[in-house]
Amino acid sequence: MSAPLLTIEDVAVELPTPRGNLRAVDHVDLSLEAGRTLGIVGESGCGKTMLSRAVLQLLPKKAKLTGRVMFDGQDLVRLEPESLRRLRGRDLAVVFQDPMTSLNPVLTIGTQLMETIQEHLELDAPAAKARSIELLAAVGIPAPEQRLAQYPHQCSGGMRQRIAIAIALSCEPKLLIADEPTTALDVTIQAQILDLLAREQRRRHMAMIIITHDLGVVAGRADEVAVMYAGRVVERAPTQALFKRMHMPYTEALLAAIPKLETAPHTPLPAISGRPPDPTRPLKGCSFAPRCNYATGRCHEAKPVLTSAEMPGHLYACFHPIRMTEGIEA
Amino acid sequence: MLNFVVRRLLGMLPVLLAVSLLTFLIASLLPGDLALVILGDQATPENVAALRRDMGLDQPLWWRYLSWLGHVVQGDLGRSFRTGQTVLQAVAERIPVSLQLMLMAEFIGLLIGVPVAIACAARAGGAFDRFMTGSAFAMLSMPSFLTAILLIYLFAVELRWLPATGYVPFTEAPLANLRFFVLPALTLALAEWPGIMRVLRSDMIATLQEDYIALAKAKGLKPSRILFVHALKPSSLTLVTVTGINIGRLLGGTLIVESVFALPGIGRLLVGAIYTRDLVILQGVVLLVACGFVIVNFIVDMLYAVLDPRIRHGHA
């Protein structure tokens, strides 16, 4: 097997705050092969967005990043700004969470599409325009030619996210990072956008990282899932394996928090009680222990490391993994 | 867009009316009888009464306002009782000086302020940013008569590069005209750029935090394109407002700078009118300057729409 397209090696991100250093990402290792999809799941503040920003090298100025991000044979952390710039937008693309704020309000959609194309591909203006129209049509925008002259505020949220996806796809990237691409959208639009991303990914054979707080989003769409909690990856497995047999109590709790059709109305959701630990005050033991139903004294004393389960490729960080016998419908 | 323009134009009417009322009241409620001022100390009460009747000063205030407004609307702002010049003539004579001074000062001010602001915002908190923010603060607190005297001392007395005072019309001697204007325009610009720089810098810093700037970086655009195309335009609304206010203010002439550099502009006209109690000129000039201000603000509003499509389409 060839080398993975993206390898995240021992990446840690620290943000200085008035209350001390905040460890947003705590020594994460992940890898992704060309054409595959990785889902990163976790609740707000678990570090999933910071991790994606670390890959893109778009961390806040004061953030301290350690570790290596190997992309296509180059370490993005140590890359010259100019080489990084040539890589971004061309091989490495991103779709942000909120399409209402990720498009520039004073530039036309055409400008925002064509500038990326003309920056990275050697196309003249008419060719770049033709390509923009093609891209808009591919992401399902009706009357793409007229849209080029319009501004973002003249489009709906779903439309804007489609445009953001068209921008991301414009130079045929090898890796697309979708950071909660549907969180800010209406429920009816969410599935459409996810299907669009999946379709374009297959067509273009690009690798994709989907970041989400919703296990349901990655269920049918990711090849592999990494569950993050308090800056660390706590469980990582091929999607099928994860849903069949999850080991980490946190993953189970995340899944239980998704409403199901068959439950009776007005049944309270089994929400995860308590809150994630204060990231400026790291715990000695497992960070999930204070909220975990299975926690014992040992969980508060020592940090479990990611270890291999019986299934190949299935890793988890827990002293008391759940031994589920029957699978859960994914 | 047309709808927007018409709405803004209609909005100007009440403002102009209020301005006219205010200028009229200021001039009319000043202590001292105008007829007495004109006729001097030796006037007999009969003469004063006759002149008051002639000038309509015996009429009630509201009637005098309406008849003055009626004349103003027809373009008749009155005539100086001292020089016999009409207000329009007096202003037409002086306005090129103030206009040229304003344009040159604003141009130099923007030329210094905008690049410095962008450079500071690009590396906010850096050494250059801290130095320039400090310098701007120092310049802001420097009164213009002091700047003027220092510039005259340096460039006119010591280096002898530029004349200290004087004026020739541009049409007669363009080069000499420009030389006369450099120091006064520079004096004003040195007071203008800190304001320009500070508003643009802080707006730019806020804009650079936006998601769409992060996306522009993620798109691999050149840093210069991100700064000038993606960040500058959405950050320049306050800058346009400040520049508009500056222009409006400078249109009214600059008493101190025009006096120090002996430029025959609107400022000197106003000072003269105040000293000689030439109320007709005073009232007319103040009204015209206020109208200029309102028009500049209208242009600023139009520029907003040019800069931000959301305003143009009535979304904000």
pLDDT interval class at A52 (50, 70, 90): very high
Most A-contacting residue of B212, B236, B304 (CB-CB within 10 A), to test interface: B212
Instruction: Check CB contact under 8 Å for A96 and B214.
Output: yes
Given the DSSP bridges, would you call strands A307-308 and A315-316 parallel, antiparallel or unpaired?
antiparallel
Nearest-CB residue to A101 (from B212, B307, B310) = B212
Mean pLDDT across chain B: 88
Q: Which residues in A lie closer than 8 A to residue B219 (C-beta atoms)?
A: 88-89, 93, 115-116, 119, 167
Q: How far is B140 from chain A (nearest CA, A)?
A: 31
Which of B93 and A245 is assigned the larger pLDDT? B93
Instruction: Check CB contact under 8 Å for A85 and B220.
Output: yes
Residues whose CB is less than 8 angstroms from the CB of residue B250 and which lie 6 or more positions away in sequence, other chains included: B98, B101, B102, B105, B106, B188
Contact of B218 with chain A, judged by CB distance below 8 Å, is answered with yes
Tell me the per-residue pLDDT of B64-118, one tens digit each, with 9 for 90 and over: 899 889 988 888 888 887 788 898 999 899 988 999 999 999 999 999 999 999 9
Q: How far is B314 from chain A (nearest CA, A)?
A: 11
pLDDT score at A324: 53
Does B173 reside within a domain? yes
Instruction: Check CB contact under 8 Å for B214 and A86.
Output: no
Q: What is the mean pLDDT of residues A43-66?
A: 89
pTM value > 0.95: no
Q: Which residues in B lie closer than 8 A to residue A99 (C-beta atoms)?
A: none
Q: What is the mean pLDDT of residues A198-221?
A: 90
Least confident of A52-66, A269-283, B83-97, B286-300: A269-283
B185 has a pLDDT exceeding 80: yes
Tell me the per-residue pLDDT of A80-98, one tens digit each, with 9 for 90 and over: 999 999 999 999 999 999 9
Instruction: Check CB contact under 8 Å for A101 and B211.
Output: yes
Q: How many A×B Cβ pairs under 8 Å?
A: 77
Does B67 reside within a domain? no
Instruction: Check CB contact under 8 Å for A103 and B212.
Output: yes
- Percentage of chain B with pLDDT > 70? 99
How far apart (Å, rounded) are the C-alpha atoms in residues B281 and B87?
A: 6
pLDDT score at A326: 46
pLDDT score at A2: 66
The residue behind tokens 């993206």 is A6
Least confident of A126-135, B52-61, B134-143: B52-61
**Residue type present at position A189:** I
A325 has a pLDDT exceeding 70: no
B170 has a pLDDT exceeding 60: yes
Element (H, E) at B176: helix B174-208
Least confident of A174-188, A250-264, A283-297, B131-145: A250-264
Given the DSSP bridges, would you call strands A64-71 and A6-17 parallel, antiparallel or unpaired?
antiparallel
Which of A270 and A152 is assigned the larger pLDDT? A152
Does B215 reside within a domain? yes
A262 has a pLDDT exceeding 70: yes
Q: What is the mean pLDDT of residues A145-152?
A: 94
A327 has a pLDDT exceeding 60: no
Contact of A8 with chain B, judged by CB distance below 8 Å, is answered with no
The closest of A221, A228, A206 to A11, measured between CA atoms, is A228
Q: How far is B254 from chain A (nearest CA, A)?
A: 36
Q: What is the mean pLDDT of residues A37-42?
A: 93
Q: What is the mean pLDDT of residues A34-42?
A: 92
Contact of A178 with chain B, judged by CB distance below 8 Å, is answered with no
Instruction: Check CB contact under 8 Å for A105 and B310.
Output: yes
Does B54 reside within a domain? no
pLDDT interval class at A330 (50, 70, 90): very low
Does B96 reside within a domain? yes
| CATH code for the domain of B172 | 1.10.3720.10
Instruction: Check CB contact under 8 Å for B234 and A151.
Output: no
DSSP assignments along B141-167, one per residue: TS-HHHHHHHHIIIIIIIS--S-SS--
Least confident of A24-38, A55-69, B78-92: B78-92
Does B148 reside within a domain? yes
Contact of A143 with chain B, judged by CB distance below 8 Å, is answered with no
Q: How far is B232 from chain A (nearest CA, A)?
A: 10
Residues whose CB is less than 8 angstroms from the CB of residue A232 and which lie 6 or more positions away in sequence, other chains included: A26, A27, A28, A47, A287, A317
Does B157 reside within a domain? yes
Instruction: Check CB contact under 8 Å for A153 and B222.
Output: no
Does B46 reside within a domain? no
Tell me the per-residue pLDDT of B117-156, one tens digit each, with 9 for 90 and over: 999 999 988 999 999 999 999 988 888 889 999 999 999 9
Q: How far is B29 from chain A (nearest CA, A)?
A: 49
Under 8 Å between Cβ of B199 and B244? no
The closest of A22, A25, A38 to A232, measured between CA atoms, is A25
Tell me the per-residue pLDDT of B243-285, one tens digit each, with 9 for 90 and over: 998 888 887 768 888 888 989 989 889 888 888 888 888 888 8
Note which residues in 152-171 of chain A have CB less than 8 A from chain B. Answer: 153-154, 164, 167
What is the ipTM metric for this complex? 0.87
Instruction: Check CB contact under 8 Å for B215 and A120.
Output: no
B1 has a pLDDT exceeding 80: no
pLDDT interval class at A319 (50, 70, 90): confident
Our count of domains for chain B comes to 1
Q: Which residues in A lie closer than 8 A to residue B218 (C-beta atoms)?
A: 56, 58, 88-89, 92-94
Q: What is the mean pLDDT of residues A1-12?
A: 86
B33 has a pLDDT exceeding 80: no
pLDDT interval class at A328 (50, 70, 90): very low
CA nearest B122 in A: which residue? A61
Query: What residue numbers bound the domain in which B215 lies?
Result: 87-312
Residues whose CB is less than 8 angstroms from the CB of residue A49 and which lie 6 or more positions away in sequence, other chains included: A97, A179, A180, A211
Q: What is the mean pLDDT of residues A210-223?
A: 88
